[in-house]
Amino acid sequence: MTIPDQPKPSRRQLLSLIGKSAGVAAMYQAMTSLGHAAETQFSGPPNLSGAKKGASVLVLGAGLAGMLAAFELRKAGYSVRILEYQPRAGGRNWSLRGGDSYTELGGATQHIRFQKGNYLNPGPWRIPHHHQTLLHYCKAFGVALEPFIQLNHNTYVHSPGAFGGRPVRYKEVAADFDGHVAELLSKSINQKGLDASVSREDQEILLEAMRSWGGLDENFQYAPSLASSNHRGFERPGGGGVEGAPIPSQPFGLKEVLDPQVWRSMSFFMNYEMQTTMFQPVGGMDMIGKGFQKQVKELITYNAKVTRIAQDAGGVTVSYQDIGSGAAQEAKADWCVCTIPLSVLSQIDVQVAPAMQAAIKAVPYGGQVKIGLEMRRRFWEEDDHIYGGHSFTAQDISLISYPNFDFFSDRPAVLLGAFANGLGAYRLAGMTPEQRIETALAQGAVFHPAAYRKEFMTGASVAWSRVPWSLGCCARWNEDTRRKHYQTLVGLDGRIALAGEHASYIGCWMEGALLSSLDAITRLHKRASEA
């Protein structure tokens, strides 16, 4: 049986294949289709000039979207009031600290016992450099930011099916993946496999690129050498004196680095939303919510559980229950900006058109789980020389992430012991908080077996499917639901506009919530000015 000649790839296709070998193109395409990798579109605060005197707006929810809407609308001259279900502002912009208590659905209550200055960010925990809306308002509201270490070559990658089940350094497997791919492509060039699609001159350039990029030796092989070890690390690094010569390390074989956990870990950092530089607020993620809250604090009514949203030609009436007293109350305004998560809003009586009702009910929410583990000492720094970044595993916890502040300190620190998605999150969410901590300790110990349990002090967990005021972490659109419902959801329905990360193409990010808020109030202002 003869195998027919396969069409040779074009030059553009060839370069695309190089990118796809690390999963980048496929990952970016998937993220874009789901609305998680779109460009941010911030060009400055909105122009809301010409507001009618006495016009009023009721904002539902004191998360970032709601507080930004209130801030800009009041600045424009509107009378604004915010109703917030919780006794605090910030929504999913949230940090758990020592002394806090948190009760999840099912009644399990956790009393947080972290040391002063330590915290767990259950929701957002990092800010990409291109999220310019959030960065703008953090600067305007005096929220101090510091670097968030996203990519750390000295962290670990773990897969039970590769490397004998032991964790290996990210720099080793990333270098070996690149090296083996570079060797394969170099062989194809030298065997004239690309003559029909790449010119001789470009082949020579590509060969030199592969030698440098992949750490190949003079024979274009990926083997133990100074070149490969300069990428992956040395068996013995160079030093001084008689024994100062470095000893090259032994690369892993191609079969081992083809384990999916390797290229998934690599492609994680190449996704647009995950690229450096990234930032975090100094002192915890809730510093952003507190910064926003300072701008609108006198406008917020806390402990207000919205039970009904009605509208007519003259305005909007919101019925709510005071959680403290149980008293039923009403709030009225000309217009309404609703930032309640769709997972909760779908259970509230809302007077909107059937198409909007369908859109509100159409979008499921993710159930991620985060677990914070407080350790007596920073053994990841002292023993393993890891300063920030993430170690990845195929286990349910998915990853552990190391704190990005107080380096070299001699006090307890909290590391993120799990950021679980998918089936792992479902399994963890079905456990008690105590069982989640035990699972995080058992699975995380694969990275630091000598110290993980020995240094553990206390922990806390948040399973987002069990969060009473959100019922999930964030909206999970797909191509079908976006096509059918997105434009309806973000459109004005009478006197009601929806805003939040669910009303954006940057879902699950604070940036999406803020951009949707600015878009909603701009359109609301236009409608109000024309009314």
Containing 101, the helix (H) or strand (E) segment is strand 101-103
Rounded Cα distance between 383 and 82, Å, is 49
The CATH number of residue 317's host domain is 3.50.50.60
Regarding whether 301 and 258 lie in a shared domain, the answer is: no
Domain boundary residue, one of 426, 441, 466: 466
Per-residue pLDDT tens listing for the chain (531 residues): 333 344 444 544 444 444 444 333 333 333 433 433 334 578 889 999 999 999 999 999 999 999 999 999 999 999 999 999 999 999 999 999 999 999 999 999 999 999 999 999 999 999 999 999 999 999 999 999 999 999 999 999 999 999 999 999 999 999 999 999 999 999 999 888 888 888 889 999 999 999 999 999 999 999 999 999 999 999 999 999 999 999 999 999 999 999 999 999 999 999 899 999 999 999 999 999 999 999 999 999 999 999 999 999 999 999 999 999 999 999 999 999 999 999 999 999 999 999 999 999 999 999 999 999 999 999 999 999 999 999 999 999 999 999 999 999 999 999 999 999 999 999 999 999 999 999 999 999 999 999 999 999 999 999 999 999 999 999 999 999 999 999 999 999 999 999 999 999 999 999 999 999 999 999 999 999 998
The number of distinct structural domains making up the chain is: 3
Domain that holds residue 342: 56-90+287-364+476-530
Rounded Cα distance between 58 and 206, Å, is 61
Any idea how long the chain is? Answer: 531
Determine the 3-state secondary structure of 73 from DSSP. Answer: helix
Question: Residue 395 to residues 125, 258, 375, 438, 512: CA-CA distances in angstroms?
Answer: 21, 18, 21, 14, 30
The CATH number of residue 432's host domain is 3.90.660.10
Regarding whether 439 and 376 lie in a shared domain, the answer is: yes
Judge whether 18 lies within some domain.
Answer: yes
Rounded Cα distance between 322 and 84, Å, is 10
Rounded Cα distance between 183 and 167, Å, is 25
Judge whether 26 lies within some domain.
Answer: yes
Domain boundary residue, one of 445, 466, 487: 466
Question: Residue 54 to residues 48, 50, 76, 182: CA-CA distances in angstroms?
Answer: 15, 12, 11, 67
Judge whether 1 lies within some domain.
Answer: no
Kindly write down the DSSP assignment for every residue of 285-316, as one continuous string.
THHHHHHHHHHHGGGEE-SEEEEEEEEETTEE
Provide the total of helices (H) and of strands (E) in the chain, helices listed first: 18, 23
Regarding whether 329 and 255 lie in a shared domain, the answer is: no
Regarding whether 360 and 371 lie in a shared domain, the answer is: no
The CATH number of residue 195's host domain is 1.20.1440.240
Q: Of 354, 178, 168, 141, give the one whose Cα is nearest residue 267.
A: 178
